[in-house]
Copies of this chain bind each other. A is one copy, B any other.
Amino acid sequence: MTSETCAPRFSPRFSRRIAGLEASPIREMLAIIDRPGMISFAGGLPAPETFPDMQQLAVPPAALQYGASEGDPELRQAVAAELNALGLACTPAQVLILSGSQQGIDLVGKLFIDTGTPVAVEAPTYLAALQVFRYFGARFTTLDPNLPAAGLATDERPAFAYAIPTFQNPTGHCYDAAQRAALARACDELQVPLFEDDPYRDLAYDACERTPVCARLQRASWVYQGSFSKSLAPGLRLGYLVASPDLLTPLVRLKQAADLHSNRLSQWYVLGQLRDAGRPARIAALVEIYRRKRDHFVQGLERYFSGLADWQVPPGGLFVWLKLKAPLDTRQLLPAAIERGVAFMPGEPFFPERPAGCGALRLNFSHASVEQIERGLAILAELVAQAGSGAGVKGTLPVAR
């Protein structure tokens, strides 16, 4: 049979949750930024020159067999040691190795969310977390460390609060000590479990408070997660979560049901990297590369976007959040930008309420070269100026088809 001749006559019945499962703008974007010559400010792609050298690998046969759902014991120990040094007290038994930290979002969604379950999120926040929580049926409520009780004291207590306190995606913001204390206090007082997502922690360009908020909790349950995608390489698909003991048993069972256990080739390789005496120097070099890219990027913004937009210089991470002075729907800008060879991520999908237009866009500064940054920002600024003046932009390709 072939798919052409034998198209099914009746539509299969999908689960009700599938109706809420939208195309991911990230996925759509990945196809676009692969086009030759495209200047990409869109993804969160690390710079390939920061990847480790993997030319002389000798994988031990033990790494090829089935392993434990929790992860390899030595890797869990190494992760726990790193987290304790960071100020988050935990034992290796609390560590669960993940197939990338996106998987932690799926597992926590499975753990907590039924149809209609309230979940507190920052606005804007990581769009693929919104996508997963929405699929499981979440109703979004407010998380804002500047509001009383961090905005969590609503009519119905959220099942958990999801936050990216350090170099947030998409804003690049880093919670200061007062904001961290406020969020921890609110979670403790209202008994709201905290899900702290911390993939950018190592990419710190300026001095700032980075101790996990979970380390300040006294009573609330918590899940903290980290990733090796930014400090090592995303193709390894390896991350981890650490959780308060009350959440561990169901999380391990969900992990086993999801994919038995994480890739042991990557686990073996990452363990070697964590034990490597050269690791701090490697991360310092990587941070220096990204710091310079950020500085070039911000200089470019000053050159081309003064008067057109506002932004904060991100103290770490991979993104600048550009707030246009004209309240444009930035999805409308994208087709013309792509036509002229520049990709960026429109701001709207990062908001839980999916606004019609938010006048903001997310720009990644880690992947493009210095020359591409210069050229790309000049093109973007021209398009924004045209659109803001009502001249309109060319092109019709929608961001999410």
Contact at A221–B8, with CB atoms within 8 Å? yes
Which of A22, A110, A131 has most B Cβ within 10 Å?
A110
What's the minimum C-beta distance from A156 to chain B, rounded to whole angstroms? Answer: 11
What's the minimum C-beta distance from A140 to chain B, rounded to whole angstroms? Answer: 16
Which chain B residues lie closer than 8 Å to A17 at the CB level?
110, 114
Distance of A136 Cα from B9 Cα, bound (Å)? 27
Contact at B18–A250, with CB atoms within 8 Å? yes
What's the minimum C-beta distance from A25 to chain B, rounded to whole angstroms? Answer: 11
Using known A-B contacts A10-B191, A90-B3, A263-B237, determine if residue A103 contacts B258 with beta carbons closer than 8 Å. Answer: yes
Contact at A259–B3, with CB atoms within 8 Å? no
Using known A-B contacts A57-B54, A89-B2, A263-B236, determine if residue A8 contacts B45 with beta carbons closer than 8 Å. Answer: no
What's the minimum C-beta distance from A351 to chain B, rounded to whole angstroms? Answer: 18
Contact at B132–A257, with CB atoms within 8 Å? yes
Distance of A66 Cα from B117 Cα, bound (Å)? 32
Contact at A9–B219, with CB atoms within 8 Å? yes
Which chain B residues lie closer than 8 Å to A9 at the CB level?
191, 219
Of A168-176, A241-249, A278-286, the one contacting chain B is: A241-249
Tally of chain A residues near chain B (CB < 8 A):
101
Distance of A11 Cα from B218 Cα, bound (Å)? 14
Using known A-B contacts A48-B64, A221-B8, determine if residue A14 contacts B111 with beta carbons closer than 8 Å. Answer: yes
Judge whether A67 is part of the interface by a CB distance below 8 angstroms.
Answer: yes
With both beta carbons as reference points, the residue of chain B lying nearest to A31 in the complex is identified as: B68
Task: Identify which of residues 165-217 in chain A touch chain B, using a CB-to-CB cut-off of 8 Å.
Answer: 191, 193, 215-217
Using known A-B contacts A69-B27, A236-B64, A253-B24, determine if residue A259 contacts B106 with beta carbons closer than 8 Å. Answer: yes
Using known A-B contacts A58-B57, A111-B14, determine if residue A264 contacts B235 with beta carbons closer than 8 Å. Answer: yes
Contact at B110–A253, with CB atoms within 8 Å? no
Which chain B residues lie closer than 8 Å to A66 at the CB level?
30, 43, 45, 229, 234-235
Which chain B residues lie closer than 8 Å to A216 at the CB level?
1
Contact at B15–A110, with CB atoms within 8 Å? yes
What's the minimum C-beta distance from A71 to chain B, rounded to whole angstroms? Answer: 12
With both beta carbons as reference points, the residue of chain B lying nearest to A52 in the complex is identified as: B64
Distance of A136 Cα from B257 Cα, bound (Å)? 11
Partner pick for A265 among B113, B114, B193, B266, CB 8 A cutoff: B266
With both beta carbons as reference points, the residue of chain B lying nearest to A46 in the complex is identified as: B65
With both beta carbons as reference points, the residue of chain B lying nearest to A261 in the complex is identified as: B237
Task: Identify which of residues 115-167 in chain A touch chain B, using a CB-to-CB cut-off of 8 Å.
Answer: 117, 128, 131-132, 135-136, 159-160
Distance of A125 Cα from B180 Cα, bound (Å)? 49
Partner pick for A253 among B11, B21, B46, B102, CB 8 A cutoff: B21
What's the minimum C-beta distance from A32 to chain B, rounded to whole angstroms? Answer: 12
Which of A16, A66, A217, A245 has most B Cβ within 10 Å?
A66
Distance of A66 Cα from B100 Cα, bound (Å)? 11
What's the minimum C-beta distance from A200 to chain B, rounded to whole angstroms? Answer: 15
Judge whether A262 is part of the interface by a CB distance below 8 angstroms.
Answer: yes
Given A14-B112, A26-B256, A237-B262, 17 more pairs with CB closer than 8 A: A7-B245, A8-B246, A12-B112, A13-B112, A15-B114, A21-B250, A24-B256, A54-B58, A63-B235, A64-B236, A66-B234, A102-B258, A102-B260, A135-B257, A235-B264, A237-B259, A265-B265
> 14 pairs across A/B with beta carbons < 8 Å?
A12-B191, A12-B221, A46-B65, A48-B64, A64-B234, A65-B233, A65-B235, A102-B260, A103-B259, A110-B135, A128-B256, A235-B264, A237-B259, A237-B260
